[in-house]
Chain A
Amino acid sequence: MIATYLPLVPQLILITAGILVMLLEPFTAPGRKGRLGQMAVIASALAAYSLGFQWNSTPRTLFHGMFIVDNFTMFFQWLFLVITAIAALVSIRFNQREEIERGEYYALLLFACSGMSLMAASGDLILTFLAIEILSIATYVLAGFKRSDAHSNESALKYFLLGSFATAFLLYGIALIYGTSGSTNYQVIRDVGTLPGQVQVTAVAGLVLLLVGFGFKAALVPFHAWAPDVYQGAPTPVTAFMTVGPKAAAFAALLRILAQALPAMADDWTRLLWAVSILTMTLGNVVAVLQTDLKRMLAYSAIAHAGYLLIGVVTNTGNGFGAVLFYLVVYTVMNLGALTIVLSLSRQGDKRVNLEDYAGLSRSAPFIAASLSVFLISLAGIPLTGGFLGKFYLFSAAVEAGYIGLAVIGVLNSVVSVYYYFRVMVVMYMREAADNALPPEPISPPVLAIIAIGVAGILWLGVYPADILNLASNSALTLK
């Protein structure tokens, strides 16, 4: 009996640790809140370890199909735990510097992680909705964690208001789907299949509303308007977390719903997402070109990458879904890496995040400049980095499924992105620092280690991707 619920252990670890952090917070002296951050890291590691026992077990469901236990779930839970651990680790020094050192921060991260994990595991629209709420509420608070900072407040409020709208759309979509299929369970919805006439229209309306909701969560164009402001205003570690974690979670839930619950409507959603994909990558890239604030530039680039990811979803093939999962890993490493460097170099109050502040960085901090270059080269999709192979597999899947036009638009977008990613390298390597420039903040050893591991990881993914690639395609198997 107990053994049946073993897959819940990681969730329980996360939530228990989160509550524990909250309880210990008042008893931790100011200046030592970093301990709580370390606790969050350890909890994530423990949860990741406990996940290992479930890998490759027979896919099954718990709680009447609510909670799906399969490799897809595991894959994403691992990803989320890594993201959470890194976000917690890089936040410790940052929060001290910004004077927002509070234990609840780490508890919220853990709760957000649990929400994301549930999104990936959910086999029922109701649980999906609840999981999204768990995640969202935690991130609303995290975005506004710099209470004294107007930008952070604006960020939180904007995210909250627009997020609530999105949730409402999502809920309405769920209601319509329920209305046509008579259930919220993915398997049951799938079995109902295509519907005749009038009901079909309602189902399509439900699908569209669902996509609107997820579009908001994953910052897809035209529902992306919140993203740049929120990403820019939030504390940088939260930005790093939000550009990878909730985005990956939204893709996980979206893949599950589309592939497992609504395969009968594939014609409709591939057509819709095809257009959304093109809009998302094009707008993200074109607007990123205009940015001079590095945080904001990476915010738009995050939008663009969601567009690339959608290419894999649109293919509606096992290879395409596998490519999405692989790209999410690669994207997580490179985006977290780049933003970790940005936040480590910045000064209190989000100073020193402008492009000009990076002038001459190759002299003052050669290792950091080289690492950031590797991440940017990978984001641009140049070979020998994970970013290239990620895009390569996405585009391959697209061509294989007959979407050659989509692949061509994807590669042309990559060219645009080369311009703004390489501009950062231009500034770092080809311009000299101004005389009155603030020197970069010295970087703490653990963060330095994370950056080094990130660089090694992105090169490893670019040269020996087989392990992760097989993991990704294995995990995507259950979808098809």
Chain B
Amino acid sequence: MQITHILSWLTYLPAALAAALVFFPGGSARALKWFAVLGSTGVFLLSLYPVYHFDPGYGGMQFVEESAWIQAGGYSISHHLGIDGISLFLVALTTFLTPLALLASWNSIAQRLKGFLICMLLLETGMVGVFCALDLVLFYVFWEVMLIPMYFLIGIWGGEHRIYAAVKFILYTMVGSLLMLVAIIYLFLANGGTTFDLLAVYQNLESGRLVLSHRAEFWLFMAFLIAFAIKVPIFPFHTWLPDAHVEAPTAGSVILAGVLLKMGTYGLLRFCLPLFPAAAVAAAPYLSVLGLVGIVYGALVAMVQPDLKKLVAYSSVSHMGLIIVGMFAFTLQGLEGATMQMLNHGLSTGALFLLVGMIYDRRHTRMIANFGGLAHNSPVLAAFFLVVTLSSIGLPGLNGFVGEVLALVGTFLRNRTYAAIAATGMILGAVYMLWMYQRVFLGKVTDPANAAMGDIRSRDRAVLIPIVIMMLWMGVYSAPFLRRMDASLELVQKRVHDARAPEGGYQVRQLKTPAIRKSDGR
């Protein structure tokens, strides 16, 4: 079966569903929920089409569609979509998590259900669009538009300090992205002032038709970097994250941790590295150090959090730090590990937020001190929580291991000290996650409220089972994933390696091919 314009379908189908919801005859909450869940499941099934038909041998863009969008006043903005090995699974991750997040909110959203579902679906459109857009302005449009539904999700359905968190979230991300807009305009003009097409910029950079002065490249890199660093978030831009996570409703946290943070790392891979390789190489040591600080700092802060959700939020800072360190090693293993880790973190942290949400729905508290011995009366919940915890700390056989090891190996090939420090993140991760697990689920039941809590039912199990299956699959047999990423990541790596120092520009350390060859047996 041949589906044309598959990426347009994936991008705009959720928005169309949201539009349909506006005109949905109101009244029946059940019908609304079923419509949204089934609709977004349909989008997920549709997203398997590109995964299945993806050509792993080709590193460029696939499923490309291009049409003119705005052609006026000497500017040409095109509607240009396409995915490669980097974005392929991020799209799938988005469509995978959205129905699960909706299903998990079945009972927890009592007020303004319709608005909630509409926001979630619009958010999905924005996220898929970000990963598919190949025109700089189109990318920016999706990038910004997505903020509005997220803002409402946090602000309307969030916790006690939701308004503060929502405003902080939007202001932080806006500062970064608007500077990126100026950089996009500059890049457009430097590239001849005719097209905002990303692939055309790649091409002109390669053929030497577009040469950026080292000063321009530095500032452009910085402008893009700040936008992405805030989103990732790279230490010290992370302060919006705990607030947003803690206040957001479960579904919002899942999407925020699962997909939104990936948009930052994705942006680095898609824009910062290939477009400004010399600047990226020059900045790599600093960014790696910031990543390492994030790893250790996030882990240490997570350790002392009394609030489950805050703990998971800070663990995100730590995990995202590893992605940055792996990525800026510029080795294939490091890039693979970083990309894998994006998916792993999306799954495991998304699942952790879902589980915390389930606990909160039953106990109306997230304070670790209030729990203890939950495993006695909620064995299924405890079992799921354990699997997800182990996945999060990178136990072999589960998904987290593959990504972490690849990232660490990649880092090791570039700089052993970095790898050693990054590895402590794995140890610290085990410490805070297992300690948290112990305090929440093991031991004696001290509070009668915990005894009365009850286990999770079939709907919640239906949410968690697909995630656990994916965790096992990616942990045991990650080849199908890595194989599809490789060619695209090699292309990114090649672009970085080809970077020559502009006249009198940066001191670009010559990147040598890693000593250890990629094993072919994978």
Contacts and interface: CB of A to CB of B under 8 A. Distances in A.
Interface of A: 319, 322-323, 326, 377, 382-384, 388-389, 392-393, 395-396, 399-400, 404, 407-408, 411-412, 414-415, 418-419, 422-423, 426, 429-430, 464-467, 469-470, 472-473
A418 B70 contact: no
B49 interface: no
Given A429-B156, A430-B156, A422 B170 contact: yes
Contacts of B141: 383-384, 388
A467 B71 CA distance: 10
A389 B70 CA distance: 10
Contacts of B148: 377, 382
Contacts of A322: 73
A400 B174 contact: no
A307 to B, nearest CB: 16
B167 A422 contact: yes
A423 B164 CA distance: 11
Contacts of B394: none
Contact of A382 (B147, B166, B167, B189): B147
A309 B151 CA distance: 28
Interface in B216-260: none
Interface stretch (B179-187, B274-282, B363-371, B447-455): B179-187
B145 A399 contact: no
24 contacts: A319-B74, A382-B147, A383-B140, A383-B141, A384-B141, A384-B145, A392-B181, A396-B75, A404-B182, A407-B182, A411-B178, A415-B171, A418-B170, A419-B167, A419-B171, A426-B155, A426-B163, A426-B167, A429-B155, A430-B156, A430-B162, A430-B166, A466-B70, A473-B72
A309 B185 CA distance: 18
A326 B74 CA distance: 14
Tell me whether chain B's interface is mostly helix, strand or loop, or mixed.
Answer: helix
Contact of B151 (A422, A469, A470, A473): A422
A422 B188 CA distance: 30
A400 B193 contact: yes
Contact of B144 (A382, A419, A467, A473): A382
Contact of B166 (A323, A388, A400, A426): A426
Interface of B: 70-75, 137, 140-141, 144-145, 147-148, 151-152, 155-156, 162-163, 166-167, 170-171, 174-175, 178-179, 181-182, 185-186, 188-189, 193
B216 to A, nearest CB: 10
B175 A399 contact: no
A322 B167 CA distance: 34
A387 B156 CA distance: 25
Contact of A399 (B74, B151, B178, B182): B182
B185 A396 contact: yes
Nearest to A391: B181
Nearest to B175: A415
B182 A469 contact: no
A411 B182 contact: yes
Contacts of B179: 408, 411
Given A382-B144, A400-B193, A470 B178 contact: no
A430 B153 CA distance: 10
Contacts of A415: 171, 174-175, 178
Given A399-B186, A415-B175, A382 B145 contact: yes
A3 to B, nearest CB: 33
A407 B184 CA distance: 12
A412 B171 CA distance: 11
Given A426-B155, A426-B167, A430-B162, A412 B178 contact: yes
Contacts of A430: 155-156, 162-163, 166
A418 B174 contact: yes
A437 B296 CA distance: 51
A418 B171 contact: yes
A322 B74 CA distance: 11
B73 A469 contact: yes
Contacts of A414: 174, 178
B171 A383 contact: no
Nearest to A427: B163
Nearest to A400: B189
Contacts of A419: 167, 171
B217 to A, nearest CB: 14
A39 to B, nearest CB: 37
Nearest to B182: A407
A463 to B, nearest CB: 8
Contacts of B181: 392, 395, 411
